[in-house]
Amino acid sequence: MYINRELSWLEFNRRVLNQAQRRDLPLLERVRFLAISASNLDEFFQVRVGGLQLMQQRGKGTTDRAGLTPEEQLDLIRERTLHMVQAQYDLMRHELFPLLKEADLAPTAMADLGETPQAALEQYFISNIAPLLTPLAMEVEQPPVLPSLNLILGVELQSGTTPAATRFVAVTLPDMLPRRIHAAALGKEKYVLLEDLAATHIGHLFPEEEVVCVYPFRVTRNGDIAVAEEEGGNFAQDMEEVLVARKFSDCVRLEIPEGTPENYTSRLASIAGAQNSSIYSVPGPLRLVDFASLASTPGHEHLKIAPWEPSMPAGVDPTMSMFENIAEGDILINNPYESYEPVVKLVEEAAADPDVLAIKQCLYRTAANSRFINALCRAAEAGKQVTALVELKARFDEGQNLQQAEKLQRSGVQVVYGVKGFKTHAKVLLIVRRENGILRRYSHFGTGNYNENTARIYSDISLLTCDENLGADASQFFNSITGRTKLTRFRRLHPSPALMKEKLLALIHAETRRARQNERAEIRAKMNSLNDADMIRALDEAAEAGVRISLNIRGICCWLPSSASARKRVNIVSIVDRYLEHARIFAFHNGGSPQIYIASADWMGRNLDRRVELMIPIENAMLAHRVSGILDACFKDDSQSYRMQEDGNYAPAKQSSQSFRMQQYLQRQAELNARSQERANRQTLEPHLPR
């Protein structure tokens, strides 16, 4: 049975919102989860709703695998989203804002301010805000296009006594302005919201006219616009054109404050180009995502969760170079419980090491001031052969990736823009180093991006190795991408779109055959999403045959086992906790000789058929045991996990008398492993210390 992808995603975002509703969490952690649920919804409208609306406009009435047309999906999305938005604002107004007010962290209404702070804020507006504002007349022959996701003030002005003397102006509040405006006259903690201050004093921009009314609003535009890849084209230039096109794309959502007069709403909808079904009236401040900054403001530590510090990964001695560490044996990093610093340090050391001859790396989403990018630039400037595969089609990071690519090219890095028709989503790094007159390859494979910032909040797996087979495969991978040859003839790696899906299906079918022969058969996996039809059919067949299947799927899961007997053998869980679950791990019992893999890919059609990805075997017995232990913890969690029910919906796991929380367990394990490693390092050094 196939569950609609969009409705499954909304179910996931509901689980995120549930975290904000938990009264056992600290206040600012609840605010953070509320902001995350709002941010998720923004992207959902840009991409998924935008894509469905395009299908509807083009008359594509075909149904998805769940049997729903684009129109039916849009209707169901609106119904569920209205309930979700109402739940967000009920929580904000009735629980979080009162608690924030008790802590002196809630916004102050302009009407509640005395004369002195009012005057101070007016002067602040004149000096610090007004010079950055640009009023745009909207009721003209060619009205300007309003930006997506910004806060905008709709201002009705009157310069005479007749209705004809009124006009409508839009004033965008630039993102560079802080949402929370503090002023000395308000006191240490108090603040007002930017839109309230601007609305109160917007008349300074129109000295000869009367402000009739001011209402904030927000437009969301379709972001589901892809580059048309053609032979001989300038791909970077084409991508820049896509970024421009998104600024002019159709409106997929218009958010307005509850209580906005109907005639004003109609006027706004006409200007924004929004259909009635795209209008959302919200009972509170727009753009809840901005309140995430409140959760990270210094101070008020008693209202936040206690920080968890990453430990040094087992197998890494910080007194040695990363090349020495890796030469001693493969290293597995489970971040953010373990520090991602060794991966960054490896590239930085490679840039400075005179024995390193070449560096090749795939870059999908990097940090704004990326240490990886800076290290690659230094390496190229030092005369090393450096190749960076920069994926320009990483949605909503295209602009930054274009800038990073230009920076790399200026330093002499050979930049490749991926494979035509496919996104390159693989996470692989290859370093070639001369040692004792021969060349040795050091490799890194991961499940997450080369981004030192998100590595502190996303859970991912890294493998650092100088295994010759994996190194040769890494070389073959880069040669295939840059040389535009087929991704075949690998020793250990299984890339997509050529080999990964075929391998996964073979592994599933092998477990199915064992189950039919009354042998023990089991599949366990951890991923972000599952929607690939071939994988679902294979899993369903396996469950029917008697294979025990346990899946930890954070977000979209489109599979509901087709029979009651199969459902008894399937356990599908989703964990939502302080870190974003992002690692992909696949384990097959294989007749008692488990085969365990990590990968950059989910079991989605786009990953397995339309992206360049990598699946890597974990063959070191000790490391395989560690990875298997992560899966054990996933399915033991009864604190932060939700379990799919027989109807496809999710319910919180039933807690045992001794509740188990996976992320807390992995944090403690990382700390214990680090302490054991420190003791081992000291024992190694002690015989060499002077007495």
| Residues that are catalytic | 425
Cβ contacts of 317 within 8 Å, gap of 6 or more: 324, 325, 677, 681
First to last CA, the chain: 71
Residue 528 has, within 13 A of its CA and on its CB side, a CA count of 18
Nearest to 151 by CA among 52, 274, 29, 290: 290
Give yes or no for a contact between 338 and 670, defined as CB atoms under 8 angstroms apart: yes
Nearest to 580 by CA among 426, 453, 674: 453
- How many CB atoms lie under 10 A from the CB of residue 679? 10
C-alpha to C-alpha distance for 37 and 289, rounded to whole angstroms? 8
Measured at the alpha carbon of residue 283, what is the angle toward residues 279 and 285, in degrees to the nearest 5?
A: 95
C-alpha to C-alpha distance for 246 and 678, rounded to whole angstroms? 52
Cβ contacts of 329 within 8 Å, gap of 6 or more: 315, 620
Nearest to 96 by CA among 38, 41, 30, 35: 30
C-alpha to C-alpha distance for 630 and 624, rounded to whole angstroms? 10
C-alpha to C-alpha distance for 313 and 324, rounded to whole angstroms? 15
Residue 439 has, within 13 A of its CA and on its CB side, a CA count of 11
C-alpha to C-alpha distance for 634 and 61, rounded to whole angstroms? 40
- How many CB atoms lie under 10 A from the CB of residue 212? 13
C-alpha to C-alpha distance for 476 and 119, rounded to whole angstroms? 68
In the numeric block, which tokens belong to residue 151? 């806060």
Collapsing DSSP states into helix, strand and coil, what is residue 544? Answer: helix
Cβ contacts of 556 within 8 Å, gap of 6 or more: 5, 8, 9, 12, 528, 529, 530, 531, 604
Cβ contacts of 41 within 8 Å, gap of 6 or more: 13, 81, 84, 85
Query: Before 285, cis peptide (omega within 30)?
Result: no
- Dihedral sign of CA atoms 205, 206, 207, 213 in order: negative
Give yes or no for a contact between 642 and 652, defined as CB atoms under 8 angstroms apart: yes
Instruction: State the DSSP code for 140.
Output: S
Amino acid type, 614 = L
Query: Before 497, cis peptide (omega within 30)?
Result: yes
Q: Which residues of 477-499 are buried (b: 16+ CB within 10 A; e: fewer)?
A: bbebbeeeeebeebeebbbbbeb
Give yes or no for a contact between 449 and 344, defined as CB atoms under 8 angstroms apart: no
Burial of 528 (0-12, 13-18, 19+ CB in 10 A): buried
Q: What is the C-alpha radius of gyration for the chain, rounded to an integer number of angstroms?
A: 27
Alpha-carbon torsion angle 669, 675, 679, 681, nearest 10 = 90
Give yes or no for a contact between 380 and 386, defined as CB atoms under 8 angstroms apart: yes
**Residue 24, φ and ψ in degrees, nearest 5:** -85, -5
Amino acid type, 576 = V
C-alpha to C-alpha distance for 2 and 479, rounded to whole angstroms? 39
Nearest to 13 by CA among 642, 681, 538, 661: 642
Nearest to 610 by CA among 475, 445, 422, 333: 422
